[in-house]
Amino acid sequence: MTLFSKIISGEIPSYKVAEDERYYAFLDINPLKEGHVLVIPKLAEPEADYIFNLDDETLAGLMVFSKKVAKAIEKTIDCKRVGVAVLGMEVPHVHVHLIPLKKETDMLFTNPKLKLSPEQMAQIANSIAEAFEAE
């Protein structure tokens, strides 16, 4: 069971911003920018760890769900757009990074990660969640 599967099941806490029966979105605990969200599919075993191994329906649904989350991020975080990245090397569970951008270099994964307090994380997650629900 991956770290992300444990987050989905509630074994590990997260700053959830959106969820439906197939997908789950939460704040990255090592964000590049405020509002950096991870979107993951809720997968049956065995877990897919490479996005292009997903079946077409799951992949398309992941992108549509990510779009809704990105629109909520745009409404709550000061940014020019939301960047999308799929690396998938650090956790063996498909995940999409949604990162609020003011400039392209905001999305460099070699940039220092932000250190935000639990209160800041909760406030950001709640703001994005409210915007998501308003969609």
Copy the structure tokens of residue 61. 């649904």
DSSP-assigned states of every residue in 33-72: STT-EEEEE--PSSPP-SGGGS-HHHHHHHHHHHHHHHHH
Among 36, 93, 95, 97, the one annotated catalytic: 95
Cα 73 to Cα 80: distance, rounded to the nearest angstrom: 11
Half-sphere exposure of 112 (CA within 13 A, CB side): 3
Task: Judge whether 97 counts as a catalytic residue.
Answer: no
**DSSP state for residue 114 in the 8-state scheme:** P
Residues known to be catalytic: 95
